[in-house]
Chain A
């Protein structure tokens, strides 16, 4: 039987490092996806995703179980990503990957090459359009798009109301639609 997140957390608190390792294995890809969606830079996203689990390890006693483990870990990841991006904006050296880097590693073409090309072009432009959103709007759109999280969970992760989530999502989608007009 697969242990629940809460059981793994309890075992981890009792000093069982393997339980923490199981949680990292379960969530590292998802956390990385969320962070990458906000930062749009693989190296930075990897760094922040690893920092997220390091912080979680050190702060496990603050996790009371009032929310689910994934909301808690996403909250750490989103806060770290937003802080990181604000720091970078104050000290802008290099944040975005080039379009070529974005396309790289996106897998081979499927059975419909024309459709694949169109999708890749859309994907590329989408990532560029997301970059122009504010960190708060990025976080909302990424959490919804990747995980399909409910507005309630997103509001817990971001520490805002469900109404705010709804209006941020509406605004972010409008902005993306405006930028991607002919591709949709």
Chain B
């Protein structure tokens, strides 16, 4: 019935939506950042534990749609062990992929995050996928204000 949506809602996304990874609080955390999409009410809090310049642990809390939940869940997995610079690079590649600017090259560069490439066909849903990454970007830059997609 929803055949055309298979590119958007891949099984990996359903899996992370049902069982989000790293869905917990890190206390005390070195970085704590809130992200909010006022359009749909998605709200998440990202926690980071740093070891020098390396992200030693990452977790999140909050509620959102399947796309945003899967995106933040996948993100917390993939950024663990990465340096700030590596995580920032990944953010840019992910952003290129979801907005359709990077084409094939970025698909390979983002590894398993490629399951979220389908959002580029759904402009209304791009922000759902990128909310987590904008929140991470703000956390890494140690910004004080919560992130809003609007």
- Are A and B a genuine interacting pair, yes or no? no
Interface residues of A (CB under 8 A from B): none
Interface residues of B (CB under 8 A from A): none
